[in-house]
Structure 1
């Protein structure tokens, strides 16, 4: 779950922003534009690559149009030659 709050709302309720960050990134805007992101330590470590899975990588924004060179199953296995 992604949450967006204003800088003013963050200043007035930092505890609420921290609670929201436990569920997903909290984008903090300044004059209507994203300026900062508040993350849980687990999410931060995942971004650093300390705990990355393919699901984590695919969940990152900006990867929607990424072309992945996928290997076809036929390239992985061949029939055994038992002769």
Structure 2
């Protein structure tokens, strides 16, 4: 869903309208055509604030065990120089 954009004047004059729009998703407030503020639902804010967690949290996710990774070196990858 795309962010809705309102001017700072609209933000000051119609805060209820901005709050209603923010319940549906991200709202960007602009001043002189440049974004100055973002308004988003509180649940989205909490998930941003929670952070990404640790690598151990990521490895504990469902389905991680089914991921296949190829660790072979590609033939075009340079090798370290050896000197005699």
Shorter chain as denominator, the TM-score bin is 0.5 to 0.7
Alpha-carbon deviation of 1:39? Answer: 1.2
Q: Counterpart of 1:4 in 2: which secondary structure?
A: strand
| Partner of residue 80, structure 1 | none
| Partner of residue 41, structure 2 | 40
| Partner of residue 19, structure 2 | 18
Matches of 1:8 and 1:42, distance apart in 2: 26
Provide structure 2 residue ranges, at least 5 long, that are not aligned to the other structure: 54-64, 70-84
Whether 1:4 and 2:5 are equivalent positions in the alignment is yes
Provide the aligned length of Structure 1 versus Structure 2. Answer: 56
Q: Which aligned segments of 4 or more residues in structure 1 are displaced greater than 2 angstroms?
A: 71-75
TM-score of the aligned structures, taking structure 1 as reference length: 0.58
Alpha-carbon deviation of 1:73? Answer: 3.9
| Partner of residue 28, structure 2 | 27
Q: Counterpart of 2:30 in 1: which secondary structure?
A: strand
Alpha-carbon deviation of 1:72? Answer: 7.5
What RMSD over aligned residues (CA atoms) do the two structures have, in Å?
2.4
Q: Look at both structures and tell me which one has the larger radius of gyration over its CA atoms.
A: 2
